[in-house]
Structure 1
Amino acid sequence: MVTKLVSAPVVALPAVKTKEQQLELALTSRQQTVEGARKGVLVAIERLMAGCGVSREAAIHTLLTQAKAGMLDPHLDMMLRAAHDGRGRKGLNGPYPSIRTIKGWRALEKEGHLAPKTAMTALLDVPEWAAAFLRLWQLPSKPNVTHSYEQFRREWAGSPEDLPSIHQVRRFIGKLGNVSRQTGRIGPREMKNIKPFVRRDISDLLPNDVWTADGHTFDAEVQHPFHGKPFRPEITAIIDVATRRIVGWSVGLAESSLAVLDAITHAVTREGVMAIFYVDNGSGYKNDLLRNESTGIMGRLGAEMHFAKPYNSQAKGAVERLHQSVFVRAARELQSYIGVDMDREAKLAQFKITRKAVKTGGTVNLISWPQFIEFINQRIADYNARPHSSLNGISPDMKLAEFIALGWEPHTLKPGEDAYLFRPQVERVIRRGEIQLYGNRYFSRELEEFHGEQLRIGYDVNDASRYGFMPTMAG
């Protein structure tokens, strides 16, 4: 990762943006104050003209004369002082604007630009030395300006009088936009957290249009189903984007393709078939068991599988937030919680207790595997029944009920179809009525006429004696 960051190109100088180039900024607090004061002064002048029947210039002259003599209303005097820009040429008016300046405000008000300009240039004038300095400063090691400037000064090949001061360098960096300033100093993953993004609209989605899934290592230890020792299981959850419901889940020893297959099986058999399955690029999803055109489950279901771009977990925000809303919250309820924010002393004490119990054959204070399954099932049910702000205060279960009331129906499997669909499949060549599969040999006289042909073999991962076969797409 470090090598990748170091080799990242320095930001192209012509593309460097200041904040002013990016967009017309809202008025600063000072600009708003001055603008309001100028409007107040112009209103006072209008009232003076109407009350005394004098010209605008006479009203302005009277106002300034009273101000200089200390005879003006204190509130109006403060307003007149605040309206003065004070950055121009110093004249005889002291803290007050001139008659000509106040007349100019009238013209600016008609144009809608009564606020003063900010004291900065509109465009960033990129100096010739900028590229050389940025090459030393825009590094993943994040050197400070002083350190980079010292190296920049040592490598300076121009004349000494052309060497910019460190203050000039700091001013140039200060004018860079916040994103351009970080280029090279942070990697593409962190850069995504500060760059603009597309907020997706899901208002037109129906249930089962898009499912998204992700694996999560549980933040508490439970008893291993085989030997009872402490371990952290991997939970794979599938969420329906339209309703935010958890439609399926599985739990295993690691995020594997079989765990994902189990979660899909759990979801499809209960909720119907999805149209799109949106997941990350992990090995648990990017494999032949799910993707193969002939033997993969996505093809058998008629569903499309789409992958999120690398370093783009924001695109799967619904399921990413799910981890915190359900599984991290559930883990905190257990005594064996070992999350990153757990008190270190308490975490170490719990670790010693469980390891001592394992070593001495004592009782481990962890929930059993069946208890864990029941525990997670209940927490998922609670989540689906809990009101969500993203659903305008209704629960995922209620959102699904709304769609059903409007006539939506899921596309479900036919009876017995799940046995064919959800068994993992591989392709094997038949030799004299026999199939060789993962060290086992199967024989059937029904395969006699298929000698030398390639068939798709469906098998039960939990029962090696059960298998089925069917012709390939070519056969």
Structure 2
Amino acid sequence: MRWLSAVEIAAVAGVHERIVRLRAARDGWRCQLEPVTTGPARKVYAAADVPQAWLPAAPEATVDLSAERVAAVSAWKRWLEGSPEPAVDATATFIALWNAEPGQLHISAASLYRWRKAIDEADRDTLTAPLPGTPTEWPAGLWDEFRKEWLRPQKPAIAQSRRNAIRALKLDESKCPSLRTFQRRVDEEIQTAERVFLREGRKAFVDTVAPYVVRDWGMVGANGVWFGDHHQFDFVVAHPEDGRPMRPWLTAWMDGRSRKLVGWVLTAQPNSTTVLAAFIRGVRLHGCPAETYIDNGKDYRNRQLFGGRPKKGELTTFKAGLDETVAKSMAELLEITVHFALPYNAKAKPIERFFGTLAGDFSKDFPTYCGRNPVERPELQPATVRKLHAAGKLPTFADVEEALTDYLENDYHVRPHAGESGMDGRSPAAVFAAELVEKRTVPEHLLAVVAMPAGRPVRVTRGGLVRMDNVQYFANELFAGHVGRDVTLRRDLADTNAVHVYEGQRYLCTARALAKVSPLAAKPAEIEAVLRSQRRAPVETPAAPSSRVDRSRSRRAAGQAVQPSEAPAAAVTRLVQPNIESPDEVRSERAANAELGRVLEMRRPSTAPPEVPDPRALLLAEYQRIKARKEQTR
């Protein structure tokens, strides 16, 4: 039975609640006390005793439905009275005959029992249908106005959108569909694709609803494509410099065919330097990839590494490669084709899936695990970190590197991968070994040059000086013939005291960091000594091979120094020769040429050198000739 309070009845009937209480006492309405959350219990009255005039009329469809249900219950009662069968069997027979008649209201045993109970308790046939006042017809324009309100990027709630739509159309809220009706219609009529696109945006639509292209990695070989990206671990370690707690980063490269991590480094702050270090490590261990598929972050768009992503009006990577005066990127020197992923499209790079596996399998084994967000953070994690930090027992970078190496070699790389294209239940190590048809290696002396990325062109200034990262460098060769010309600089990250100077891919010289003099130096002799040392400072070079045969042997040895640890015997090793000069080779050739010139000079017969005219005399004669011509024309 339905119960209503005096306030609810007064609101529907449009009278004061005192009148409702007086009428209930006079007519003897059934009532009871209903407990509430706070305060005393309230008195409620049976809805069946409220006068029909005080309740809103049910819609026509509700009245018709109520009549059909009452008719079905009445016919069922008469059938039970005249049937010799047990009540259960008689009910089943009645339902079968009733539903067989065309146009009849479809009924079930549960519906009949529920309707009969409502009639017996309420003593009113109309309560068999939906409650009086429940609208089943939608006012014109209400649903369209609701859709406009709800399908917005602000993501309003259904209740708020319902209220806004009713206010916009100036409708009576009591005569409008209930909140539950709105919720049900939203679930039934508004498609997921429309809901996500209009409320959450295009990216969410593409990521979660739109169809996507499935790549078949079985169509490429090992070392065919490498993926690169950064990942921040979900645990805390000691900073390598000051020991403060911090979350370390991983810069990694993954082979797309086998899902094997080919090169990686740990760092406190990822940047283009860590990208290069991880890539060179992978090339040394497993050879050079044919193509790379990389992120759009600034660390990977670096022109020095992968040529940058050309913009409208800029020189493309292909055109830049035709100009020998332009320093080539690392990818061009190693003959690597570069592909950039769509911005904010993580699913395009399988390495993102590996990072998810790493977070679950590896990061959670550390006592300082902190989770990806506050929801995943263990309750005692901050206290644990403070305790370990105070005791000096936070994990170090060396600990993480050792643990990660063990995890990769003894777990991830040897674990069967199922459900991924081309894996067929094999481990990454097995797939890499089986699918490595050709290993492209790079001679070590040239790889060392490639590992020193070229900066933007700089101009050789007065005195043969070049500047890199606010440090000035000097070389006699620059002072002699390159002042005012643009050059590119390559520097070993481990040695900032020298830079290798290039013109395009041609090696010029090695410049040393400029010595500095105190501004209080008063003795000219001290300043002169520094300048003399700068002009004459010899460039220390490693011992060079004595002959071309020795140099050829060195190149072959460098190219064969790194052998594939898991490559099958059928794999072919191909040597990649970057089109760039090595400082060591150029110095060796220059030394050999100088020695040859000295020997030839010693064997040349001693003859008087030809007389060289004085340049000043020539200039004076030319001046006199021009002056005489001007006087003749006057």
TM-score, shorter chain, exceeding 0.5: yes
CA deviation map 1:388-411 (0-9, x unaligned):
11322211111122124xxx1111
Matched, 1:209 2:240: no
Q: Paired residue for 1:444?
A: 475
Aligned pairs for 1:69-468 within 5 A: 88-90=102-104, 131-156=144-169, 165=177, 173=186, 174-191=188-205, 192-292=207-307, 293=317, 294-316=327-349, 318-340=350-372, 344-355=378-389, 357=390, 363-382=391-410, 383-389=412-418, 390=420, 391-404=423-436, 408-426=437-455, 427-431=457-461, 432-447=463-478, 448-468=480-500
Give per-residue Cα distances to partners, 1:285-318, cap 9 Å, x unaligned: 12333233545322332223322223321112x2
In angstroms, what is the RMSD of aligned CA positions? 3.5
Structure 2 SS opposite 1:268? helix
1:3 corresponding residue in structure 2? none
Partners of 1:270 and 1:457 in 2: CA distance: 27
The alpha carbon displacement at 1:334 in A equals 1.8
CA, structure 1 residues 457+134, in 2 after alignment: closer, same or farther (shift >3 Å)? Answer: same
**Structure 1 pair 285/417, CA: closer, same or farther in 2 (3 Å)?**
same
1:290 aligned counterpart, secondary structure: helix
Give the letter aligned to residue 303 of structure 1: I
Deviations 1:34-55 (A, max 9, x none): xxxxxxxxxxxxxxxxxxxxxx
Structure 1 residues 460, 86: CA separation in 2 closer, same or farther (over 3 Å shift)?
A: farther
Moved over 6 A (4+): 84-87
CA distance 1:384–1:171, change in 2 (3 Å): closer
**Counterpart residue type for residue 196 of structure 2:** Q
CA distance in 1, matches of 2:144, 2:296: 37
Once residues 175 and 88 of structure 1 are traced to their aligned partners in structure 2, the CA distance between those partners, rounded to angstroms, is 29
- Counterpart CA distance in 2 for 1:388 and 1:473 is 44
Find the partner of 1:469 among 495, 501, 511: 501
Residue 421 and residue 214 in structure 1: after superposition, are their counterparts in 2 closer, same or farther (change >3 A)? same
Spell out, residue by residue over 1:184-236, the C-alpha distance to the aligned partner (whole angstroms, 9 max, x if none).
22233432223322211111111122111221111112222222222211101
Residue 458 of structure 1 deviates from its aligned partner by 0.6
CA contact (8 A) 1:230 1:354 kept: no
> Taking structure 1 as reference, are residues 412 and 146 closer, same or farther at Cα in structure 2, changes over 3 Å only?
same
**In the superposition, relative to structure 1, how do residues 197 and 245 fare at CA in structure 2: closer, same or farther (>3 Å)?**
same
Q: Which amino acid in structure 2 is aligned with residue 226 of structure 1?
A: E
1:268, CA displacement in angstroms?
1.6
The CA distance in 2 between the partners of 1:288 and 1:401, in whole Å, is 32
Residue 308 of structure 1 contacts residue 315 of structure 1 at CA under 8 Å; is this kept in 2? yes
> Are the structure 2 counterparts of residues 443 and 386 from structure 1 closer, same or farther at C-alpha, using a change threshold of 3 Å?
same
Could you say what secondary structure the match of 1:468 adopts? strand
Q: Show the counterpart of 2:64.
A: none
1:295, 1:222 → 2: CA distance? 38
Q: Distance in 2 between matches of 1:306 and 1:86?
A: 67
How many Å separate the matches in 2 of 1:364 and 1:152? 62
Q: What is the distance in 2 between the residues matched to 1:370 and 1:474?
A: 39
Aligned length in residues: 357
Output one character per residue of 1:264-289: Cα deviation in whole Å (capped at 9) or x when no partner. 11112222222222222222212333
Distance change in 2, residues 1:368/1:135 (3 Å): same
Q: Kindly provide the amino acid, as one letter, of the partner of residue 424 in structure 2.
A: N
SS in 2 for 1:184: helix
For residue 344 of structure 1, what is the amino acid of its counterpart? P
Task: Answer with 233-242 or 386-395: which moved more.
Answer: 386-395
Which range moved further: 451-460 or 140-149?
Answer: 140-149
Q: CA deviation at 1:148?
A: 1.0
Partners of 1:85 and 1:365 in 2: how far apart?
A: 77
SS of structure 1 residue aligned to 2:200: coil
- CA–CA distance in 2 between the matches of 1:272 and 1:170? 59
> Cα distance, 1:436 vs. partner?
1.4
**Separation of aligned partners in 2, 1:200 and 1:265:** 27
Q: Give the letter aligned to residue 362 of structure 2.
A: A
Structure 1 Cα separation of the partners of residues 189 and 101 of structure 2: 21
Is the contact made by 2:370 and 2:376 (CA closer than 8 Å) also made in structure 1?
yes
Give percent identity, aligned residues only: 25
Give the superposition deviation at 1:247: 0.6
Q: Give SS of 1:198's match.
A: coil
Q: Select between 455-464 and 337-346 the one with higher mean Cα deviation.
A: 337-346
- How many angstroms apart in 1 are the aligned matches of 2:403 and 2:498? 32
Q: Secondary structure at the match of 2:498?
A: strand
Instruction: Give the deviation of 1:423 after TM superposition.
Output: 0.6
TM-score (normalizing by structure 1): 0.66
1:175–1:436 CA distance, 2 compared to 1 (3 A): same
Return closer, same or farther for 1:273/1:165 CA change in 2, 3 Å cut-off. same
Secondary structure of 2:199's partner?
A: coil
Secondary structure class of the residue paired with 2:362? helix
- TM-score when scaled to structure 2? 0.51
Identify unmatched segments of 5+ residues in structure 2: 1-84, 109-139, 308-316, 318-326, 508-634
| Maintained 8 Å contact 1:219/1:328 | no
